[in-house]
Chains A and B, each alone.
Chain A
Amino acid sequence: MNIIEDAKQAVQGLVQGAMAKAVALAPDSWMPGGEPDPLIRHQHGHVGKPLSRIDGPRKVTGSATFSAEFPVDGMVYAAVVFATIAKGRLVEIDTRSAEASPGVISVMTHRNAPKLNPPPVFMSSSKAAGGDNLPIMQDDRIHWNGQPIAVVLAESQEFADHAASLICATYEADVTLTNFAVAIAKGTEPSLFMGQPLHNEIGDAEKALKEAPVAVDATYRTPRHNHNAIELHAVTVAWTGDTLRIHDASQLVAHTAWSVAQMFGMDEKQVVVTSPFVGGGFGGKCLWQHQVLAAAAAKIVGRPVRLVLSREGVYRVVGGRTLTEQRVALGADKHGKFKALIHTGVIAKTPSNILPEPFIMPARSAYASETMLLDVQAVELDMLANTFMRAPGEAVGTFALESAIDELADALGIDPIELRLRNEPEKEPTSGLPFSSRHVVEAWKMGAERFGWDQRSVKPGLVRDGEWLVGLGCATATYPYYRMPGGAARITLTRLGQATVDIAAHEMGMGTATVQTQVVAERLGLSLEAITFNYGDSTLPGVVLAGGSQQTASIGASVIAAHRALVKELIKIAGNDSPLAGLKPDEVASRDAGLCKADDPSRFETYASILERAHRDEIRVEASPPDPLETMHWSMHSHGAMFCEVRVNAVTGEPRVSRFLGSFDCGRILNSKTAASQFRGGIIMGLGLALMEETQFDERYGRIMNPSLSEYHVPVHMDVPDIDVIWTDIPDPHTPMGAHGVGEIGITGTAAAVANAIYNATGKRMRDLPITLDKLL
């Protein structure tokens, strides 16, 4: 081959490379017949790479600043005093000793707190963030055992904590309802989730169950849980004139700014909420009383206030996952085809919030069944409002459903994976919608092979290694794809070829900035170094919740919309002298720090050149994506197949998880390193759910009895074996980047996989979580 041939090939290679690299504009909607996001076709760019976290150096050196770490001059420290009755009236609160205590500046109670509107409760409107709608320190009413009744403000935390211990309260108690069984006996109410009844019926399921040749019917119980993010809930707040600045640990900064503004009767622009790093959220880092108390206290003392809840304080003030009592009944023919699927039960909530734990969500889409009855009933207790915690509904719902399927497989003598595959639905049974992307069968097959499922003893209790009984179990994992309305993003592109994306999103460990930098770099045809991703500030565009595993889709769609606006603007200012002259936005793609004609990458001009000719230093656009109509057209979910090996000590009953594999189908994986970490993290929280986690609630007095990390057990290093995670990496053509959420799927199915493995090891069926050793003796 001569030099000319080489050069020709090289040029050809370059053009082909450029074709492959150019990114066309993403469709601005994900409707039937629409074009998939062109990033899906990009297999060799930044997306999908195991890029290490760009904020890693800050996090490992302690230089990432969390909410209690913003230095403010003249700051006052706060300590909170909590009510000790479940319901009633504060007759007297004696604060004199506290006020006279050294270093104390003021004590705030309902007698001197500024007048505030009640918090807008989450899901009551688009920007509402409140955990409940109860007035905050406005009157003498007590609504739960642990409600804040006073805030001491002092020159140091030591002074504040000591003075708080001197406050004496006298109560008049009302008759309370704090017992779940008593409340159920009094009657339950149907419940709503996101405005829809938690109820589905297909045919007559009870009749079909009675007539089914093989059936199982059992009750499963899951206790209350707390998120227990290691960062304590903390705020540093300061009033500057009429502006309130809140350094918060938040997974919803824009919602919080709006909601706090409503409470103080201010314009939402007067409340600035920032949260650059969140030390774990899991659903718990939303708007509770502490932020509002700190802001009110700062107003009283006329100085900035830092309020860090104690670990006990977090349990008193921040809600957790509620308890459930679930019935699952399955009827099948002799081949295992489901004739009836019944998943019903009761949860507890409060009169002041609107979140019933929607445990029937998995059953709505996971399996085909001739008949179905799904229903969630609610009772209301006098307790701290419950809230969403990692995979609300699915985490505990899959425990019951997937345990029942294992029980049915056992009754039928059919392998539990085979039973699931025999009931694979063609479309979502309850809605009739087609699936946007469902490859759970592939996940099952990949996982079974890798885990060595064929090594499982069909009969339980037969495999023994010394004094340890060994068993294998499996379960389906499932969590919906969500994209909530309210996204928006701003892109600023400079003549130097640097792009900045601004969006009020959050980083609580998901790797938001890292992953979005990869996506934005690829979409704009820029290097990673050319991208700045700003987030965690309510003054930035968008109302984006870091929850429901929806943030990646929400940011992705917002950036797509802003990118489209950017390209339109670039073509406009490029003018007639540009190689891009006459092209429409849909004919244009990004590559190599510029734009080109999508099907002719040689018609190309760099961003720098376009801006220079137009005498512009920078160009700035902001846009919002269309409403998430994709979820109206398809049934959209992340999927997974979970495999667990346990060892149960035959003498002590101690259960140990010795091996775990998660095989996932979650669309395109955007960063294989951070996604694997989220999968593992979810599974580990699922191991806690299965084996140790329980918020112990005193049903006589409505008080949480174990408000500490020594009494509420979470998994530690010694509890966690090697966890293997694999995935299909099949993009969903109907989502931004082809991705599904990965933050919550890991906790779903895990508890059932553990319980089913314990059954396989011991022959004992565990239907009440957590599965502690006393239950196995």
Chain B
Amino acid sequence: MQTSTHLEISRRDLLISSAATVAVTGVAGGAIAQSAGNDMVQTSKVSFIVNGDIHNMKLDNRTTLLDALREHLHLTGTKKGCDHGQCGACTVIVDGRRLNACLTLAIMQEGRRVTTIEGLGKPGDLHPMQAAFIKHDGFQCGYCTPGQICSSVAVLEEIGANIPSHVTADLTSPVALTAAEVRERMSGNICRCGAYSNIIDAISDVGGMKA
């Protein structure tokens, strides 16, 4: 006879403990405010800005930013592909930097500005990167696409801001917009349909990279 419980420690449980650490340091003020007289605090209040709109929410402490966007704000353009920060489908831009929305808790976003794919452009009013993805066929099924596009927009800004990467050969001169730089920086966004070459073409087009 063998006995076992569900073996894996859920990532959410791990995140809860890290969130508790954050609460002690006083960043997520809402969680502290609610803790009095309740031995198991389930929810916290949090306010953050998504695509220019402020959202005041009361959320389960375990809710990731990804699930807050998808299940609570119904912004389903941000995709769940692994929930473990391995595929990049949930990439959003928070305070100007790209981030895997599945790897951060919603209650940690107090006061932050989140830009999702819906905030970049809409059908009929596309962001240049969205238009370039269509022109260069930078996707097939379309599921990783919002993450690829959010990442692409941020990558061009990172290169523009002279932030080096693993493949930056010379740290003393400005980072160049090259295919290798883009490939390296985009490698956290998996596309199983294999649109990689076309995505590079789209980013190169928007970034003004010479062919």
Contacts and interface: CB of A to CB of B under 8 A. Distances in A.
Do these two chains really belong together in a complex?
yes
Interface of A: 52-53, 55-66, 68-69, 71, 81, 84-85, 91, 102, 156-159, 161-162, 164-173, 227-232, 277-282, 308, 310-312, 507-511, 673-674, 676-678, 680-685, 708-710, 714-718, 720, 722-723
Nearest to A308: B80
A280 B141 contact: yes
A62 B76 contact: yes
A316 to B, nearest CB: 11
Contact of A716 (B78, B118, B149, B190): B190
Contact of B196 (A55, A69, A684, A708): A684
A443 B177 CA distance: 35
A753 to B, nearest CB: 16
Contacts of A312: 8
A631 B110 CA distance: 63
A709 B82 contact: yes
B3 interface: yes
Contact of B77 (A61, A159, A161): A61
B1 A91 contact: yes
Contact of B60 (A85, A156, A170, A717): A156
A55 B142 contact: yes
A680 B190 contact: no
Given A312-B8, A680-B197, A714 B190 contact: yes
Given A230-B190, A310-B83, A681-B140, A165 B198 contact: no
A230 B5 contact: no
B13 interface: yes
A231 B82 contact: no
Interface residues of B, number: 75
- What are the 4 tightest A-B residue pairs by CB atom distance, in nearest-first order? A62-B77, A279-B143, A509-B140, A59-B142
Contacts of B183: 717-718, 720
B77 A280 contact: no
A102 B139 CA distance: 41
Nearest to B70: A69
B84 A60 contact: no
Contacts of B1: 91, 170-173
A709 B6 contact: no
A563 to B, nearest CB: 28
Contacts of A280: 140-141, 143, 192-193
B54 to A, nearest CB: 20
Nearest to A167: B6
Contacts of B78: 62
A156 B70 CA distance: 12
A58 B123 contact: yes
A510 B192 contact: no
B18 interface: no
B210 interface: no
Given A91-B1, A230-B143, A61 B196 contact: no
A71 B75 CA distance: 11
Interface string B122-140: 1110100011011101011
B85 to A, nearest CB: 8
B18 to A, nearest CB: 15
A165 B186 contact: no
A158 B199 CA distance: 34
Contacts of A228: 192
Nearest to A710: B86
A472 to B, nearest CB: 20
Contacts of A673: 137
A68 B194 contact: no
Contacts of B118: 61-63
A282 B192 contact: yes
B196 A715 contact: yes
Contacts of A282: 192
A480 to B, nearest CB: 22
A736 B182 CA distance: 41
A510 B134 CA distance: 14
A231 B143 contact: yes
Nearest to B86: A709
A722 B211 CA distance: 12
Contact of A102 (B12, B42, B79): B42
A718 B76 contact: no
Given A57-B124, A229-B192, A717-B199, A509 B142 contact: yes
Given A52-B137, A281-B141, A312-B8, 18 more contacts: A60-B149, A61-B117, A61-B126, A156-B71, A158-B67, A159-B60, A169-B5, A171-B3, A231-B79, A282-B192, A310-B83, A311-B82, A311-B84, A680-B194, A681-B194, A708-B84, A716-B187, A720-B196
